[in-house]
Structure 1
Amino acid sequence: MIKVLHLNTWYGKGGAANSTRELNKLLNQNGNISSKVVVGFNNSDESLLKLNRNYERYLNAAITKYTGYDSIWYPFSKSKSLEKLIDKYDVIHLHNIHGYYFQLKYLELLKDKPVVWTIRDFWPITGGCAFFNDCNKWVTGCGKCPYLNAYPATKIDRTAFHFEQKQRYINQLKNVEFVTISDWAKSVVRKSMIGHKNITTIYNGLDVDAYKIHYVKDQGSKTKLLFIASKLSSPRKGLLVFLKSLQEIKNKSHYELFFIGEKMPKDLKDTYLRDFDFKELGYVSNTDKLSKIYSECNLFVNLSTAETFGRTNIEAMLSGTHVLTYDIPIMKEILQDKGIYVQEKSSKEIAKAIESFHIDQHEKKLKYTSQALREHALTFSQQKMVKAYERIYSKLLNNSGGK
């Protein structure tokens, strides 16, 4: 029996947290692996191991914001408790270790352990940010950061120091395999300070049976557009671009809009949505309910400029819904020829693509059926993902002379 310990900021809250939760559950069903998750902070699941008290998150976030020492120094050390915990497990599986709970020096505790590190964003290779936008300083070393307000935000630029510290501690890991969740992300990481390490691509696996084509698409009435972002205010999710593109649409009465995630400010709704029928559905955590929303809508509009996988695209297609997104490498890798692609941040082109979709759907000229979209998405199964991780666990244990 291989004992695996996962570390992530949260459990079941956000993309990385959901993927960690699902992987943990599947590994425990395997029979050959005993899997446990330790989280930075507890979001009400008492079965989880918790590294920090919830109030420490706010304290540590304030330290990051006002001193710039993100993950370098926090007032309450967890080294002793973490060391005792780590000793009980054969393999340590890191997911997101940023999020104001994990100090880089804790990696010293793992230097002789088999370590899998799934890179779910680019925080491990930069001097600070999780997504680097159009900046390439992370290739050679950060400093004079143009995006200090990007998560994890800070007022003091210590990105050059952070870059050196990450390199120092990560290079102490003797038996580590980095996992990216797309080939595009792997190509990015290859250019970074850890590019010489072992790096494998394992696509996120979804519970494909949990998403279904619940409804036959209504092609004769309004076209229903769906936009999703847990933080609609995040610039990289593209809400403002979407809202501006809606203004370019001539016959606004032909469309109904659905938004999942945090509520929009009233001024945005008053400015951009006054001529549309729209519904804000809030956060949706129930998979069956989410799949029904996808399935009811005709087109999922995903205008994210920075993803390492794009889970929502697969969820939409499993539910039989077309995806409109940017013509960028990560989206084309995952969606292939099943996506509807537009030029990045072009409001006019987005509007034109939406209008063309409305016409093609009404005239039954869409290239792919709902079932064809689902067939493509079925290739991202949890079974493939779990088997790939099992092989890596076994390889690392063999490297260390373990089980």
Structure 2
Amino acid sequence: MILHLSTFHLEGGAGIAATRLHRALLKAGVQSAMLVPDTRHPENGVTALADTTWKKQLVFARFAGERLHFLPHEKDRSVRFAFSPARIGADISSHPLVQAADILHLHWFNFGFLSMRSLEKLFRLGKPVVWTMHDMWAATGGCHYNRGCDHFLTHCRHCPYLSTAGPYDISFTQFEKKQSLYGIPRIALVSPSNWLDHTVKSAALTAPLHSLSIPNCIDTQVFKPGDQASARQRLQLPDGKKLILFAGANTQDPRKGFSFFREAIEPLHMQYPDLEVIMFGKTKNAALADLAAKVHYLGKITDTAQMVDAYNAADVIAVPSLEDNLPNTIMEAMACGTPAIGFRTGGIPEMIDHQLNGYVAEAGSSPGLAEGISWVLAHNEQGRLSHHAREKVLSHYAEEVVTRRYHQLYESMLP
């Protein structure tokens, strides 16, 4: 039995990716289970540690304790959730699902689910470990993305995220602890993108470990092309407009690049007076107030059918992330036949084939982003880009493609 361990069930990119893999494995006939701290969406095969009110409070207390532990060290509020000290977490080593598992499959487990001590207890069970890395944390002394710092290539120290940075700061300490832990189990590190796999192979902590790249998967029977006019009607969006989608990201997170999107819209709106914007995800009204084009804010979408409608309603999706692994939003949009524009960073240029199914702009370039959106609008009138976008997902990210590769990895890990 494969046991997936994830902080989130159906929230956040990593939690959604983990759940999709679990479901796809079940469809493929693989015995799979998932253990999470808590969930608001009960699902067969997914078990929550918090099955009572008191345990739910304990889950929150671990999260709060973990963040409070980091508070004295954070450089400023902008890095509050960008570094995980992993000092507080649950001991799940004796949980029945853990005991029954043949392979422990780690996903994103920070924010109080598992601590370094929790990890050590799991590793000492002697079970094979597959670890899908949804960011860089496994390869660093605590940051989820390095933001240009290269200390992780040798030994983390003087961490730019910390107010107390120094030669023996908490990034140094966590680096040392990980180094001592990684030699315990038989472990395979899986990167959803080739970019992250290259990073893993270059990092001092992870270079000695077995590592490979397997992308996240998506259900292409759910995320699929639909009639644009009908989708717009269901979402009460205007017909006859060019609609640009900015989806699923926190506009307040500098890493997601919303400021570049805002700057790109201004010249585009002059070029296309009928251009309007669709948005869903976390945002504040102030972020939308100065956008040059009219905005249709759909809120936080949890219903999959509504999400598919949003992708089908759009003419193009813009994902201007400055750091990202393998964004679900690009995969979801392309599965629906919606071309994507993104920056040449992380795993994004692996997903978008430049001027074949979308457009790749130089990182941090608002004019490049605007040029990409304009190019796609001008070159997709016959649906050529949409066709290639869908084909890319079918050949690289469809459930059967990805589960086949994971099944081969699992088989290789077992005695």
Which residue in the other structure is 1:391 paired with? 408
CA-atom RMSD in angstroms: 2.7
Which residue in the other structure is 2:278 paired with? 258
Further displaced range: 188-197 or 249-258: 249-258
User: 1 CA distance for matches of 2:285 and 2:401?
Assistant: 41
Which residue in the other structure is 1:115 paired with? 129
Q: Is 1:38 aligned to 2:30, yes or no?
A: no
Aligned residue for 1:244, secondary structure, equals helix
Which residue in the other structure is 1:372 paired with? 388
Q: Give 1:101 deviation, angstroms.
A: 2.1
Q: 1:329 to 1:38 in 2, by over 3 A?
A: closer
CA contact (8 A) 1:8 1:95 kept: yes
Alpha-carbon deviations, 1:27-78, whole Å to 9, x = none? Answer: 3344442x2211134445385231752332122221222367954533xx74
Which residue in the other structure is 1:54 paired with? 60
Aligned match for 2:338, one of 321, 345, 351: 321
Q: 1:360 to 1:41 in 2, by over 3 A?
A: same
CA contact (8 A) 2:244 2:277 kept: yes
Which residue in the other structure is 2:360 paired with? 341
Q: Give 1:204 deviation, angstroms.
A: 0.9
Structure 2, unmatched stretches of 5+, are: 51-57, 75-82, 233-238
CA contact (8 A) 1:248 1:347 kept: no
Aligned pairs for 1:3-402 (under 5 A) are 3-33=1-31, 35-43=32-40, 45=42, 48-50=47-49, 53-66=59-72, 70-74=84-88, 78-79=90-91, 81-85=92-96, 86-109=98-121, 110-111=123-124, 112-148=126-162, 157-173=169-185, 175-192=186-203, 193-216=205-228, 221-249=240-268, 250-251=270-271, 253-266=273-286, 268-270=287-289, 272-273=290-291, 275-328=292-345, 330-336=347-353, 337-360=356-379, 364=381, 368-379=384-395, 380-398=397-415
Q: 1:223 to 1:394 in 2, by over 3 A?
A: same
User: 2 CA distance for matches of 1:365 and 1:78?
Assistant: 54
Q: Give 1:293 deviation, angstroms.
A: 1.0
CA contact (8 A) 2:136 2:143 kept: yes
CA contact (8 A) 1:92 1:115 kept: yes
Q: Give 1:10 deviation, angstroms.
A: 0.9
CA contact (8 A) 1:122 1:132 kept: yes
CA contact (8 A) 1:8 1:17 kept: yes
Aligned residue for 1:269, secondary structure, equals helix
Q: Give 1:365 deviation, angstroms.
A: 7.3
User: 1 CA distance for matches of 2:120 and 2:368?
Assistant: 50
> What count of residue pairs does the alignment treat as equivalent?
381
Q: 1:310 to 1:49 in 2, by over 3 A?
A: same
User: 2 CA distance for matches of 1:236 and 1:340?
Assistant: 20
Further displaced range: 11-20 or 43-52: 43-52
User: 1 CA distance for matches of 2:137 and 2:4?
Assistant: 18
User: 1 CA distance for matches of 2:85 and 2:178?
Assistant: 10
CA contact (8 A) 2:131 2:187 kept: yes
Aligned residue for 1:53, secondary structure, equals helix
User: 1 CA distance for matches of 2:4 and 2:276?
Assistant: 41
User: 1 CA distance for matches of 2:393 and 2:60?
Assistant: 37
Which residue in the other structure is 1:401 paired with? none
Q: Give 1:89 deviation, angstroms.
A: 1.6
CA contact (8 A) 1:42 1:54 kept: no
Q: 1:87 to 1:138 in 2, by over 3 A?
A: same
Q: 1:386 to 1:365 in 2, by over 3 A?
A: closer
Q: Give 1:117 deviation, angstroms.
A: 0.8
2:196 maps to a residue whose letter is: A
2:366 maps to a residue whose letter is: S
CA contact (8 A) 1:181 1:204 kept: yes
User: 2 CA distance for matches of 1:44 and 1:338?
Assistant: 34
Structure 1, unmatched stretches of 5+, are: 399-403
CA contact (8 A) 2:187 2:210 kept: yes
Further displaced range: 244-253 or 228-237: 244-253
CA contact (8 A) 2:36 2:48 kept: yes
CA contact (8 A) 2:359 2:376 kept: no
Further displaced range: 241-250 or 196-205: 241-250
Q: 1:108 to 1:307 in 2, by over 3 A?
A: same
Q: Give 1:385 deviation, angstroms.
A: 1.6
User: 2 CA distance for matches of 1:210 and 1:73?
Assistant: 39
User: 1 CA distance for matches of 2:243 and 2:30?
Assistant: 45
Q: Give 1:309 deviation, angstroms.
A: 1.3
Further displaced range: 293-302 or 241-250: 241-250
Alpha-carbon deviations, 1:144-184, whole Å to 9, x = none? Answer: 222349xxxx99951111111121112222x1111111222
User: 1 CA distance for matches of 2:374 and 2:90?
Assistant: 55
2:36 maps to a residue whose letter is: V
How high is the TM-score relative to the length of structure 2? Answer: 0.84
